[in-house]
Amino acid sequence: MNAIRSAIFVVWMYGLMALLGVLFSPSLLGPRSWTKAVFDIYLALVFGGLKVICGVRYEVKGAHNRPAGGALVASKHQSMFETLAFWRVLDDPAIILKKELRWLPFFGWYAMKMKNIAVDRSAGSKALRDMLKQARQRAEEGRQVVIFPQGTRVPPGGEESYKPGVAGLYSAMKAPCVPVALNSGLHWPGKGFVRTPGVITIEFLDPIPPGLPKDRFMAELERRIETGSDALLPAPLRRPALTAQTPEETQ
């Protein structure tokens, strides 16, 4: 039954993307606010469909830590869910995306019109410089810069190293970094299409103050995100090395 519901949802999500993408394509020629309004409509329909069709909804914890205005947000990444959800739970995010996504029909066109940040990972140091430049611009515009520091989707309980690009952003922006823990992969897998009913939790953790040395920042960021995310998983999926730490110890 979950597979059938998920198939219906996939048709709903991508069908809406094509329909609204064509119907509101003139917005791409106007100001960014027009495109954002169209995307807000799309997301409301997508997450409404996710709840009704698949029985999946989401909640936000740690709302007092949710940044407003220019800020750096570093999040766990388990599925496509959070790539979309941050446009619902933050005021005006600029999400750091793989360059390849900008060529996707409709999604990529609207994402670039909304001035998200596309990164060419194959470009090495040039990509990092370009990312830092765009991130500073977005923060100066009062937007939240969102990065997935592991650089890829990681299944619940899985492991992946944290990439140094987030440290470059943290140093260049000279702003607090708000870590985000989540458990989206339990209900919207990074691979495959079967969504399972339940509640996805997005938790904004206490911000890391600016000015920490790179190594200390990276260690603290990883500790907070991984411990916070593990705390949102059922016990069998939690990693032994992290179960000894309580959420209070990560703040």
Of 79, 101, 62, whose CA–CA distance to 180 is shortest? Answer: 62
- Flag whether 48 is in a domain: no
- Flag whether 237 is in a domain: yes
Query: Residue 195: which domain range?
Result: 57-250
Write the Ramachandran bin of 206: left for phi over 0, alpha for psi from -120 to 50, otherwise beta.
Answer: beta
Whole-number Å distance between alpha carbons of 141 and 74? 19
Neighbours of 37 (CB within 10 A): 14
Type and span of the H or E element at 200? strand 198-204
Q: Which residue has the higher pLDDT, 106 or 64?
A: 64
Residue 235 has pLDDT above 50, yes or no: yes
- Please count the structural domains in the chain: 1
Report the pLDDT value the prediction gives residue 211, as an integer from 0 to 100. Answer: 92
Q: For Cα atoms 193, 196, 201, give the angle at the middle one, nearest 5 degrees.
A: 105
- Flag whether 49 is in a domain: no
| The token pair that represents 145 in the structure block | 């810069």
Report the pLDDT value the prediction gives residue 103, as an integer from 0 to 100. Answer: 73
- Flag whether 93 is in a domain: yes
**R_g over Cα of the chain:** 18
Q: Note whether 121 and 98 are within 8 A (CB).
A: yes
Of 32, 38, 85, 31, whose CA–CA distance to 59 is shortest? Answer: 85
Per residue in 16-51, pLDDT (tens digit) is 999 999 999 999 999 999 999 999 999 999 999 999
Maximum average pLDDT range among 120-129, 133-142, 159-168? 159-168
Report the pLDDT value the prediction gives residue 121, as an integer from 0 to 100. Answer: 67
Distance of CA 130 to the CA centre of its chain: 20
Give the helix ranges, DSSP H, for the chain.
Answer: 2-23, 32-54, 80-89, 107-113, 125-140, 165-173, 214-231, 240-243
- Flag whether 218 is in a domain: yes
